[in-house]
Amino acid sequence: MDETQELENRFDQLKKDLRENNLQDFRENFLEMHIYEQSQFYEDLDEDERYLVYTYLSPKELANMFDVLEEDNENTQDYLGEMRANYASAMLAQMYTDNAVDLLNTLDKKQMGKYLSLMNQEDAAEIKELLHYEDETAGAIMTTEFVSIVANQTVRSAMYVLKRVAKVAETIYYTYVVDQEERLLGVISLRDLIVSDEDEMIADILNERVISVHVGDDQEDVAQTFRDYDFLALPVTDYEDHLLGIVTVDDIIDVIDDEAASDYSGLAGVNVEEVYENPAKAAFKRLPWLITLLFLGMATASLINHYEELVSQASILAAFITLITGTAGNAGTQSLAVAVRRLAFNDDKAKNYLQTIFSEILTGLVTGLVTGLTIFVIVWIWKGNPVLGFIIGMAMMCAITVANLAGSLIPMLMEKLGFDPAVASGPFITTLSDLTSVLIYFNIASLFMSYFIS
Residue segments in the chain with a per-residue pLDDT below the cut of 70: 1-2, 70-74, 259-278, 282, 284-286, 289, 343-353, 356, 418-426, 452-454
pTM (2 d.p.): 0.62
Same domain, 162 and 17: no
Residues 6+ apart with CB under 8 A from 35: 64, 65, 67, 68
Same domain, 102 and 216: no
* Domain stop point among 109, 135, 161: 135
Same domain, 385 and 327: yes
Residue 141 lies in a domain: no
Residue pLDDT, tens place only, 151-173: 999 999 999 999 998 888 888 89
Cα 327 from chain centre: 29
pLDDT at 216: 92
Same domain, 308 and 223: no
pLDDT at 103: 87
Residue 266 lies in a domain: no
Task: Determine the residue type at 23.
Answer: L
Residue 308 lies in a domain: yes
Same domain, 287 and 435: yes
pLDDT at 228: 87
CA dist 376 and 373 (Å) reads 5
Same domain, 305 and 406: yes
**Rounded alpha-carbon distances, angstroms, from residue 348 to 212, 339, 343, 344, 418:** 20, 14, 9, 11, 17
Same domain, 294 and 328: yes
* Residue 84, domain CATH: 1.25.60.10
Number of domains forming the structure of the chain: 3
CB burial of residue 257 (10 Å; 0-12, 13-18, 19+): exposed
* Domain stop point among 223, 256, 289: 256
Range of the domain at 396: 279-452
pLDDT at 268: 54
pLDDT at 286: 67
Residue 159 lies in a domain: yes
Same domain, 129 and 223: no
Same domain, 292 and 437: yes
Same domain, 304 and 401: yes
